[in-house]
Amino acid sequence: MITQRLRLVRWPRSGVTRFNRPWALFVGFVLLFFLHGDLAAQVLVSLPKLTVSPGKKITIPVTVGNIGKEEITAIEFVISCDTSVVNLLGVEQKGTLTEGFMMIANNSVAPYNKGRVKVAGASAFPIKSGGVLVNIPAIVAANEGKSSIRLSNIIFNAGKPESKTVDGVITVRVPGDRKGKQSSDRHRK
């Protein structure tokens, strides 16, 4: 069995060491270029930070950033929150990037519920730009509170492009109340 040792060659005058296999250096740069392309292909998917009044129906937009040269023809994700603060009702597509998609939202068959909804959809006509992907309708609790809203298990197409998520927050607060205490106007009635 023949084995070769990797040799470092020292330049005579400068004392600088160089790699004696220039083709390996070229292959390394090519791999770095392609890996960098895959890292750059991540799509940002984000949820907002909302401050809302108790007992209201709200819409939570799920937004996608620039998708570059990619085209999205299928989506799947799970959105979750604290049900003591907000109940998720399903999915709305009107006026969104997925308006022509066949879409389904599961918030009633285990393990999904009003605080954990799975959304999936597909279309023959791809999404080619960023914007509001879908809207999630929700009912806010009658009490003040705060809940993070999280995205997980996001899959575009069959896994490409990959995604990066930014979770959101819903804060339920009585209007005019800045410190979480009841407004003095409410007690004057």
Report the pLDDT averaged over residues 21-40: 53
Domain over 43-172 is classified CATH 2.60.40.10: no
User: What is the pLDDT at residue 23?
Assistant: 54
User: What is the pLDDT at residue 174?
Assistant: 83
pLDDT at 77 over 50: yes
pLDDT band at 86 (very low <50, low <70, confident <90, very high): very high
The answer to which of 39-48, 149-158, 159-168 has the lowest mean pLDDT is: 39-48
Could you report the per-residue pLDDT of 58-69, keeping only the tens digit for each? 999 999 998 888
| Residue 120 φ/ψ region, left for φ over 0, alpha for ψ in the -120 to 50 degree band, beta for the rest | beta
User: What is the pLDDT at residue 33?
Assistant: 52
Where do we find the tokens 């400068």?
Answer: 14
The answer to which of 2-11, 44-53, 101-110, 157-166 has the lowest mean pLDDT is: 2-11
- The rounded distance, in Å, linking the Cα atoms of 139 and 54 is 9
Average pLDDT of the chain, as a whole number: 80
Q: How far apart are the first and last CA of the chain?
A: 94
- The rounded distance, in Å, linking the Cα atoms of 151 and 168 is 9
Q: Write down the domain spans for the chain.
A: 43-172
Give me the phi and psi of 119, to 5 degrees please.
-120, 135
- The rounded distance, in Å, linking the Cα atoms of 8 and 36 is 28
Where do we find the tokens 């285990």?
Answer: 110
Listed in sequence order, the DSSP H helices in the chain are: 22-40, 184-187
CA 3 from centre of chain: 48
Report the pLDDT averaged over residues 163-169: 92
